[in-house]
Amino acid sequence: MRDTSVAAVSFILLLSFFGCAPNAEEKQVRQFITAHVAGIEPLTTQANLNYWEASTTGKRELYDTLGKLQVSIRQTYSDPQEFAFVREVRRAGDVKDKRLARQLDKLYYAYLQNQIEPELLKQIVDLDTKIQGQYNNFRATVDGVTVTMSDIYTILTTEKDCRKRESTWRASKQVGDAIADDLIRLVRLRNQAARKVGFENYHTLSIVTGEQSVEELDRIFDELCRLTDEPFARMKKELDRRLADSYGISPKDLLPWHYHDPFFQRTPLVYDQDLDLYYRNRDVKELAERYYAGVGLPVDDILARSDLYDREGKYPHAFSHDVDRSGDVRILCNLQNTERWMETILHELGHAIYSKYHDREEPWLLREPAHSFTTEAVAMFFGRMSRNPAWMQEMLGLSAEERSGIEEVSRKYMQFQQVLFARWAMVMYSFEKQLYADPDQDLNNLWWELVEKYQLIKRPPGLVDAGWASKLHFTTAPCYYHNYMLGELLASQLHHHIVHDVFRLTSDQDASYVGDDRLGRYLREKVFGPGALCPWNEMIERATGEPLTAKYFARQFVQQPL
């Protein structure tokens, strides 16, 4: 009897030495997680189903139920005792089992971002709702006449009369002036909430709960800035010449309203080409289904559950939706046979396959993408195909001449679009960081300093207004914008790795991956399967051999000669 227990003890000691035996803390954590998931999983699935019903029908009452379910989920994560337990075991560092420690991390951040006192939370939610309401009900005017956002885009892309352009551009910013004071109040409230949980401001809190660090983001954005400085200046100079010619003015007289987008975040139409003619008589759904099947990532089950076509009351854009983390994945689209919808369906299915192929053996808390920007990266990787000449040639059966015609314009457009977006993302990232660091500074001036520095656009003469506040992301998705850029960087890093190390090609000239299931096998094994088992940068390093870098984005869109 005695001998047996000694043997058992040594066996356990031996196991602990190798980190396999559950210790008391691990046992407690396991029990906590089991109970937690038993409550949160059905609630999440129910909210997800409800969101789907609401988005596909537009019924008001479904949105109300959804709101209530979201509050219940939030309440679970705002429990201070549970948070204290999670924080303490995590701090003690006794949980050695990797899978368990990761789940603990996920829980810690989920609880941390919800530790706001009910009274303060109510003030934040109310102010947020008020600003969104003002935003939705605001009607911009040009010379006393009301204009919609879509009128503004049409005028900015077509109008040649510079005076009319100026008043339209100014109209697009009026809402900013109307909501800026409330938005700054919201920033202060968010900062107050962040300080209560020990962070200097809300920006830092958001970055940390997103499992990122400000130093890491600064490093990546600095690298990106350095790699795009000179090429952007060159591209912008050429663009300015073309735009100035189109208005019959000198490039030095160009002002913000001469660019085709209110924030100069999209490429002016001077380089665009009509790719719709290649998709007009095709079925974008069939093309996407055939393509994904060919690369070993069949999507027929996803498409069968999806809601693909335009209908009254339905949400007008697109998204991918993982309902239960157990294979019920769907996409919502409003398909038309155009290049934009080809891109969109490839993009949304990229998100969808990421979710579909999470290893179902992994615990529920880890059956998620490594980060929201890693699923964005996969979606962007596939979405980029709709303009890829090699892909278009293979999928649409184009001739060599048609392909080279597309190649010439499309490459230039893609390069400009990507570099331009990178510069715009730098403005957004730097501004938000400084906005939360000091909301009382002269923000209107700060905004224009950054626009001048990164986008090389001159500020309008006279006193500058709070046009920056018209960017709704500051209200609805605070401190998140940088993730779109990280998604683009990772899409390029994956592309580079797949071309050179998985397919072993010397150049990406013909890389369209059509009909090659090595692509699917690689992504399933290295990216989709592990889900959130590793922190995002560890997943990226395991999948591509190095941590996230701006180098491959620059190689794909900057360093190739124009």
Span of 292-300, 372-380, 507-515, 547-555 interacting with Zn ion by CB under 5 A: 372-380
Span of 243-251, 307-315, 371-379, 427-435 interacting with Zn ion by CB under 5 A: 371-379
- Give burial (CB, 10 Å; 0-12/13-18/19+) of 70: middle
Beta-bridge mates of residue 141 = 146
Span of 13-21, 53-61, 257-265, 375-383 interacting with Zn ion by CB under 5 A: 375-383
42/316 with CB nearer Zn ion: 316
Q: Smallest distance from the beta carbon of 351 to Zn ion, in angstroms?
A: 6
Span of 81-89, 330-338, 376-384, 441-449 interacting with Zn ion by CB under 5 A: 376-384
Restricting to residues 157-216, name those near Zn ion by CB under 5 A.
none
Helix/strand/coil percent split, the chain, to 5: 70, 5, 30
| Strand bridging mode 319-322 / 145-147 | unpaired
Span of 224-232, 234-242, 373-381, 431-439 interacting with Zn ion by CB under 5 A: 373-381
Question: Does residue 369 contact residue 355 with C-beta atoms inside 8 Å?
Answer: yes
CA–CA–CA angle 454, 457, 460 (5° rounding): 135
Q: Smallest distance from the beta carbon of 175 to Zn ion, in angstroms?
A: 25
390/532 with CB nearer Zn ion: 532
Residue 547 and residue 530: Cα distance in Å, rounded?
A: 17
Q: Smallest distance from the beta carbon of 388 to Zn ion, in angstroms?
A: 18
Question: Does residue 462 contact residue 170 with C-beta atoms inside 8 Å?
Answer: no
Question: Does residue 240 contact residue 254 with C-beta atoms inside 8 Å?
Answer: yes
The residue whose Cβ lies closest to Zn ion is 379
113/483 with CB nearer Zn ion: 483
Residue 171 and residue 176: Cα distance in Å, rounded?
A: 10
Residue 379 and residue 18: Cα distance in Å, rounded?
A: 39
Q: How many residues bind Zn ion (CB under 5 A)?
A: 1
Q: Which of 186, 303, 379, 491 binds Zn ion (CB under 5 A)?
A: 379
Beta-bridge mates of residue 330 = 321
Q: Smallest distance from the beta carbon of 97 to Zn ion, in angstroms?
A: 33
Q: Smallest distance from the beta carbon of 152 to Zn ion, in angstroms?
A: 25
Q: Smallest distance from the beta carbon of 533 to Zn ion, in angstroms?
A: 22
165/371 with CB nearer Zn ion: 371
Binding mask 460-479 for Zn ion (x = CB under 5 A): --------------------
Q: Give just the sign of the alpha carbon dihedral 12, 13, 14, 19.
A: positive
Q: Smallest distance from the beta carbon of 67 to Zn ion, in angstroms?
A: 24
131/378 with CB nearer Zn ion: 378
Q: Smallest distance from the beta carbon of 557 to Zn ion, in angstroms?
A: 19
Backbone torsions φ then ψ of 424, nearest 5 degrees: -65, -40
**What letter does residue 411 receive in the DSSP assignment?**
H
Question: Does residue 295 contact residue 456 with C-beta atoms inside 8 Å?
Answer: no
Q: Smallest distance from the beta carbon of 303 to Zn ion, in angstroms?
A: 17
Span of 9-17, 187-195, 274-282, 379-387 interacting with Zn ion by CB under 5 A: 379-387
Question: Does residue 225 contact residue 453 with C-beta atoms inside 8 Å?
Answer: no
Question: Does residue 331 contact residue 348 with C-beta atoms inside 8 Å?
Answer: yes
Residue type, 517: D
Is 485 a binding residue for Zn ion by CB under 5 A? The answer is no
Q: Smallest distance from the beta carbon of 77 to Zn ion, in angstroms?
A: 24
156/379 with CB nearer Zn ion: 379
3-state class of 319 per DSSP? Answer: strand
For residue 197 the two structure tokens come to 């949980």
Instruction: Note the residues at the interface with Zn ion (CB under 5 A).
Output: 379
